[in-house]
Amino acid sequence: MTCLEPNADCDDMLKIVVMNDLHLVSPGSPSPNMDTTERFDLALQHAVQRHSDADLCVFAGDIADKGDAGAYAVFDRLRCQYEVPQCVTLGNHDDRTVYTSAATNFEMDPNGYIQCRRDIKGHCILVLDSSEPGRARGGFSKQKRDWIHAQLSDAKDLDLPVIVILHHNPSALQMPVDAYRLDEPDVLKAALLESGANIMQIVSGHCHISSAGSWSGIPCATIAGNHHSVEPFLRRRTGQQECYASSAEYGVVVSNGADCAVHFETYIGAQQAMDHALFPKKKDQTFEPMI
Ligand SMILES: [Fe+2]
Ligand SMILES: [Fe+2]
């Protein structure tokens, strides 16, 4: 049972929901090993119940499995049910040309890339378009970087901590999937570090696994997303890496400007709840006062 009550104490807390790797298909098309449309619908229903107070929902790429117009129509039809402000960016499975001609309610930078900026509750949120046609690892062209530079410079001048959300994970996970992480990651890293802005958190998808770590000192998290997820398959492992259809998650970023946390909300394969009587202190708990 979930209860969201008005609480002025939380009014200054930023909350961003991140949904990634939807891998939607056109109605009637073969689904990629699972019904990704049904799964996305469940994600949205879950977010409506738990996070109707979010300031922003970012759809962080691989919206469509095969970059087709029908999948983008499904995406637009379903996401309407989650009535919070939304941003979209694309991944390697998307097609920017098809998306911009078939989809609605998205924002482009002046060069036509699907990236945008939102300043909310004392934060600068940069939603970056790491997709590049024909390049699974994506990348950041000079045009994209020039736009990013301008936003970071502005965020620094305004003294806003920056939260970066993009599709491709830039940092290595020490897994085979690193062969597909963001191309030329040092190019983005240099843009972020040399800006002098306070890069508070990077959140990405693409690798289909939940993880947390850092990248030359910048905190990074990856969200497993809506499609299959993979097991941690670290160096020295051999043989088959397991892939799972039994779970799916979206991310929830919360920040007061100094403390930033990334949570992993499981909407498929949720844990079995234990008897409430075993944990009486978990009933009607209080929260630490907001700083
Ligand atoms: Fe994906
Ligand atoms: Fe991807």
Nearest ligand, CA 208: 1
Decide: 259 and 270 in contact? Cβ < 8 Å.
no
Confidence bin at 10 (pLDDT 50/70/90): confident
**Which amino acid would we find at residue 205?**
G
Nearest ligand, CA 22: 1
Average pLDDT over residues 95-112: 96
Confidence bin at 1 (pLDDT 50/70/90): very low
C-alpha of residue 84 to centroid of ligand 1, in Å: 24
C-alpha of residue 214 to centroid of ligand 1, in Å: 21
Average pLDDT over residues 246-250: 97
C-alpha of residue 168 to centroid of ligand 2, in Å: 6
The per-residue b/e assignment along 249-276, b for 16 or more CB within 10 angstroms, e otherwise, is bbbbbbbbbeebebebbebbeeeeeeee
The model's pLDDT over 43-101, given as tens digits with 9 standing for 90+, comes to: 999 999 999 999 999 999 999 999 999 999 999 999 999 999 999 999 999 999 999 99
Mean model confidence pLDDT for the chain: 95
Confidence (pLDDT) at 203: 98
User: What CATH architecture is 14-230+242-269?
Assistant: 4-Layer Sandwich (3.60)
C-alpha of residue 229 to centroid of ligand 2, in Å: 12
Please provide the DSSP assignment of 230-281 as one string.
Answer: E----TT--SPPPEESS-EEEEEEEE-SS-EEEEEEEEESPPPPPPGGG-GG
Nearest ligand, CA 23: 1
Nearest ligand, CA 227: 1
Q: Would you kindly state where each structural domain of the chain is located, as residue ranges?
A: 14-230+242-269
The model's pLDDT over 160-219, given as tens digits with 9 standing for 90+, comes to: 999 999 999 999 999 999 999 999 999 999 999 999 999 999 999 999 999 999 999 999
Q: How far is CA 269 from the centre of its chain?
A: 19
Nearest ligand, CA 36: 1
Share of the chain above pLDDT 90, in %: 90
**pLDDT surpassing 60 at residue 121:** yes
